[in-house]
């Protein structure tokens, strides 16, 4: 019996350590700290030069890929108000620009996307892209795909979309994440994370929270026949309902796993 409680103690201690460890991972913000676009509707412009080394035959191919990337990644987070929209190909040539020069050529409030073979910016082989936000003279974001070598061209389509989404993350205000599952994770080996993680959801929602719906004054008083949990004002929105169901399923799963492990310990030790 003593042995069982000791083993359970060890199990809980390990579980506790694991949960502590998980909390040390997390998103970071840009080098400037918490900076974001004042409006959550942000337009994306595409530079006019062709990025042939990076595998694009025209700026319109890059435009299509950026469109696919935003709808597969950042625009689908329900808790994040950010709404990216690809607007147009503009007559800006980024083919030899640094990231700073690209930012200086970006209209205020927009993100400019292009490619460059500038060797100061892409000074080592294998770098896929660079991106940043700058608020020095109005909020602008930009990212450049490496057109100095074929690193980007050699990715598969899913990796290309994820790389664009990662650099867009920098362009709207995110830094790297310590969570290896996150899209914003930085891996030295150049491995591309292909999916958004909860950490990316949190990061986007932190920088671009949804506004609180309306002031309290405009909500109708609850009818005296209803108790405080009934009626429209007390009901969860469909979105919250879905989240609550998912949360409880997740909690039940964790509890189930813990219980079966404990029961397993007991039977084995008996
Ligand atoms: Zn990065």
Q: What is the pTM of this model?
A: 0.71
Instruction: Confirm if 132 and 170 have CB atoms less than 8 A apart.
Output: yes
Cα dihedral 126→71→52→173 (10° resolution): -50
Residue 25 burial (C-beta neighbours within 10 Å; 0-12, 13-18, 19+): middle
For 26-69, how does the pLDDT look when each residue is reduced to its tens digit (9 = 90+)?
Answer: 889 988 788 999 999 999 999 999 999 999 999 999 999 999 99
Tell me whether residue 8 is in a domain. Answer: no
Report CA(186)–ligand 1 centroid distance (Å): 6
Looking at the structure, do residues 159 and 241 belong to the same domain, yes or no? no
Instruction: Confirm if 160 and 64 have CB atoms less than 8 A apart.
Output: no
Q: What average pLDDT is seen over the chain?
A: 81
How many structural domains does the chain have? 2
pLDDT of 228 reads 40
Report CA(78)–ligand 1 centroid distance (Å): 23
Maximum pairwise Cα distance, the chain: 77
pLDDT of 15 reads 54
Looking at the structure, do residues 107 and 163 belong to the same domain, yes or no? yes
Instruction: Tell me the pLDDT band of 217, cut-offs 50, 70 and 90.
Output: low
Report CA(90)–ligand 1 centroid distance (Å): 25
Instruction: Tell me the pLDDT band of 187, cut-offs 50, 70 and 90.
Output: confident
Looking at the structure, do residues 146 and 203 belong to the same domain, yes or no? yes
Report CA(269)–ligand 1 centroid distance (Å): 49
Instruction: Tell me the pLDDT band of 222, cut-offs 50, 70 and 90.
Output: low
B/e letters for 131-164, b = 16+ CB within 10 Å, e = fewer, are bbbbbeeebbbbbbbbbbbebbbebeeebbbbbb
The boundaries of the domain holding residue 244 are 236-270
pLDDT at 126 over 70: yes
Looking at the structure, do residues 96 and 185 belong to the same domain, yes or no? yes
Looking at the structure, do residues 122 and 249 belong to the same domain, yes or no? no
pLDDT at 244 over 50: no
Report CA(105)–ligand 1 centroid distance (Å): 21
Q: Of the given ranges (61-75, 129-143, 179-193, 232-246), which has the lowest mean pLDDT?
A: 232-246
Looking at the structure, do residues 67 and 185 belong to the same domain, yes or no? yes
Q: Of the given ranges (30-44, 97-111, 202-216, 220-234), which has the lowest mean pLDDT?
A: 220-234
The residue ranking higher by pLDDT, 75 or 265, is: 75
Tell me whether residue 198 is in a domain. Answer: yes
Tell me whether residue 1 is in a domain. Answer: no
pLDDT of 208 reads 96
CA-based nearest residue to 119, from 86, 137, 88, 96 = 96
Report CA(39)–ligand 1 centroid distance (Å): 23
pLDDT at 135 over 50: yes
Looking at the structure, do residues 152 and 249 belong to the same domain, yes or no? no
pLDDT at 243 over 50: no
Looking at the structure, do residues 50 and 173 belong to the same domain, yes or no? yes
The residue ranking higher by pLDDT, 214 or 152, is: 152
CATH number for the domain that contains residue 111? 3.40.390.10
Looking at the structure, do residues 108 and 155 belong to the same domain, yes or no? yes
């Amino acid at each position: 019996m003593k042995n069982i409680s000791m083993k359970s103690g060890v199990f809980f201690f390990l579980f506790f350590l694991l949960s502590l460890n998980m909390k040390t991972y997390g998103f970071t913000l840009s080098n400037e700290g918490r900076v974001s676009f004042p409006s959550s509707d942000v337009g994306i412009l595409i530079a006019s030069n062709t990025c042939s080394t990076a595998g694009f035959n025209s700026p319109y191919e890059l435009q299509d890929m950026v469109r696919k990337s935003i709808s597969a990644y950042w625009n689908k987070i329900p808790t994040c108000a950010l709404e990216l929209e690809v607007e147009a190909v503009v007559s800006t040539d980024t083919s030899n620009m640094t990231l700073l020069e690209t930012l200086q050529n970006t209209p205020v409030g927009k993100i400019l996307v292009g490619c460059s073979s500038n060797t100061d910016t892409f000074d080592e082989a294998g770098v896929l892209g660079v991106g940043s936000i700058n608020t020095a003279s109005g909020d602008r974001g930009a990212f450049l795909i490496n057109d100095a070598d074929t690193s980007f061209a050699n990715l598969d389509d899913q990796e290309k979309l994820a790389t664009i989404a990662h650099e867009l993350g920098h362009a709207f205000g995110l830094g790297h994440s310590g969570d290896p599952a996150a899209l914003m994770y930085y891996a030295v080996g150049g491995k591309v994370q292909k999916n958004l993680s909860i950490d990316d959801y949190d990061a986007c929602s932190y920088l671009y929270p949804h506004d609180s719906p309306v002031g309290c004054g405009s909500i109708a008083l609850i009818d005296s026949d209803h108790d405080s949990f009934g009626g429209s004002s007390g009901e969860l929105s469909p979105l919250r309902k879905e989240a609550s169901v998912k949360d409880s399923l997740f909690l039940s799963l964790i509890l189930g796993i813990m219980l079966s492990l404990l029961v397993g310990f007991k039977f084995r030790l008996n």
